[in-house]
Amino acid sequence: MKMILNMDYVKKSAFILTIVATMAFISGVLMAADLKDVKKKGVLRHLGIPYANFVTGAGDGMDIELMSHFAKYLGVRYEYIATDWGDIFGDLTGKKVKPKGDDIEVVAQAPIKGDIAANGLTVLPWRKKAVDFSVPTFPNQVWLVARADSAVKPIKPSGNIAEDIEAVKKIIAGQPLLGKTGTCLDPSLYGLENITDKIKLFPGSLNDIAPAVIKGEADLTLLDLPDALVALQKWPGKIKVIGPISDKQDMAAAFSKDSPQLREAFNRFIRKIKKDGTYVRIVKRYYPYVFDYNPEFFRGSK
């Protein structure tokens, strides 16, 4: 008797196999690595964007050092993966998102390129929707910064941040303001679009905002604390801090929601280096003056 191939069966099998393979591929592509994957692969991929002294762009920075130590902590190799503000979460989670108030909108799928994102990432409500954050790694606040010769005068602190914020908003009212979407400097995060219609979104790097103000591209800009401290240090007498536009914020490392173990491992790592002094040493190297400015954040760290 002759065996006759059942072509239908073959086709079905191939199809199923293809689907499975594709799904496997997709899952491999679409699913971020968790701790065991990182260990299995033997490399920790750090997604970073040159910003202030978190990632200086010269190969060092506070977050680069933290991540390097974390990789060592895990026993894996460290690898830096450059990204930008628009792609960072997509590179981390596989989903490219855009903020929509406190929520997000997935705009596309993207290949996962990294295991952890850290470059002075402020913990924002919408970002929490996209990623999971570690325990805070740095204090932050968004300030209104003006050029030194601007007519805008810094507020007199009232001792109440909310009141101070309101005072600042009054100053902003109707004034041209520089900001940057997708970051903590997005004016919409603070409802500033309702105060002034002269918002200008900066297209360049966050590091270039202060120089742009100094140049006169704008009188006012939003700057977060670290960047403001750096700018004050770099261009003393050129800019002035008017006041806060946000409450105190935290910066932290971001993880895919598929990497809980990795995040937990990082949290353990942060707690460890806060105890053994490594964390403070690293922070001092890049932000030596932040301790005086925000001592309560670093209380408990050696």
Partner 1 sequence: MRVGGMEKTTLKQIPAFYRKLLILGGSVAAVAFVFFLLFMNYRFAVDLRGTNLKNMKAETEKRAASIGFFFADRRDDLINLALSREISVFFENKALGMSMEYGLKYSLAPILDRFQDLVNRKKLGSDAVYSRIMLIERSGAILVDTLTATGHKGTREGLQELLVPNYRDGTILSVDGGKEIVVSLSYFFKNRYDGQIIAWIQPQTLYKNIIGEGGSPSDISILITNEGKTFQSVGVSFPSQIAGLPNLAALTPGEPSEFRDLNGERQSWIGLKTPINGTPFHLLRLIAASNVVGKLTPQYLLTTMGVIALVLLGGAVFTIILTVRAKEALRESERLMSEIIDFLPDATLVIDKEGRVITWNRAIESMTGVKAEAMLGRGNYEYALPFYGERRPILIDLALHPDREKEKTYTTIQRMGDIIFIEGRLPALRPGNVHLSATASVLRDSGGDIIGAIECIRNDTDRKRMEERLQRAEKMEALGVLAGGVAHDLNNVLGVLVGYSELLLREVPEGSRAGRFAKSILQGGERAAAIIQDLLTMARRGVSVSETINMNRIVSDFFKSPEFERITQHHPDVLFRSQLEADLFNIKGSPVHLFKTIMNLLANAAESISGAGEVTITTENRYVDAPIPGYEDTQEGEYAVLTVADTGAGIAPADLERIFEPFYTKKVMGRSGTGLGLAVVWGTVKDHGGYIDVLSKENKGSAFTLYFPATREDLSKGEQDLSPDEYHGRGESILIVDDVEAQRMLAATILEGLNYRVATAASGEDAVAYLRVNKADLVVLDMIMAPGIDGLETYRRILEIRPRQKAIIVSGFAKTDRVGAAQKLGAGEYVKKPYVIEKLGIAVRKELDRE
> Can you give the binding site for partner 1, defined by CB under 8 A?
143, 148, 153-157, 164, 228-229, 232-233, 236-237, 240-244, 288-289, 292-293
Q: Which is nearer to partner 1, 157 or 204 (CB)?
A: 157
Residue closer to partner 1, measured from CB, 216 or 237? 237
Element (H, E) at 241: strand 239-244
Smallest gap from residue 87 Cβ to partner 1 (A): 32
Helix orientation angle between 62-74 and 278-286, rounded to the nearest 10 degrees? 150
Of the two residues 179 and 244, which places its CB atom closer to partner 1 in the complex?
Answer: 244
Alpha-carbon radius of gyration of the chain = 23
Helices (H), the chain: 7-30, 35-41, 62-74, 88-93, 125-130, 161-172, 209-215, 225-234, 260-276, 278-286, 290-293
- Residue with tokens 């994102």, as numbered in its chain: 117
Q: Please answer whether residues 200 and 280 qualify as being in contact, where contact means their C-beta atoms are separated by less than 8 angstroms.
A: no
User: Which residue lies nearer to partner 1 by CB, 34 or 164?
Assistant: 164
Q: What letters, b where the CB count within 10 A reaches 16 and e where it falls short, cover 175-198?
A: bebbbbbbbbbbbebbebeebbee
Query: How far is the CA of 117 from the CAs of 32, 59, 127, 215, 254, in angstroms?
Result: 12, 16, 12, 32, 5
Nearer to partner 1, 38 or 228 (CB): 228
Query: In angstroms, what is the minimal distance from the CB of 120 to partner 1?
Result: 17
For residue 239, the minimal CB distance to partner 1 (Å) is 9
Taking the complex as a whole, the smallest distance from the CB of residue 141 to partner 1 amounts, in Å, to 8
- CB-side exposure of 302: number of CA atoms within 13 Å? 9
Supply the minimum distance, in Å, between the C-beta of residue 50 and partner 1.
Answer: 22
| Degrees to nearest 5, angle at CA 85 with 91 and 125 | 90
Task: Please report, in angstroms and rounded to a whole number, the separation of the first and last CA atoms in the chain.
Answer: 83
- Closest contact distance (angstroms) between CB of 233 and partner 1 is 8
Closer residue to partner 1, CB minimum distance, 129 or 240: 240
Q: How many residues does the chain have?
A: 302
Shorter beta-carbon distance to partner 1: residue 26 or 162: 162
**Least distance (Å) between residue 156 CB and partner 1:** 7
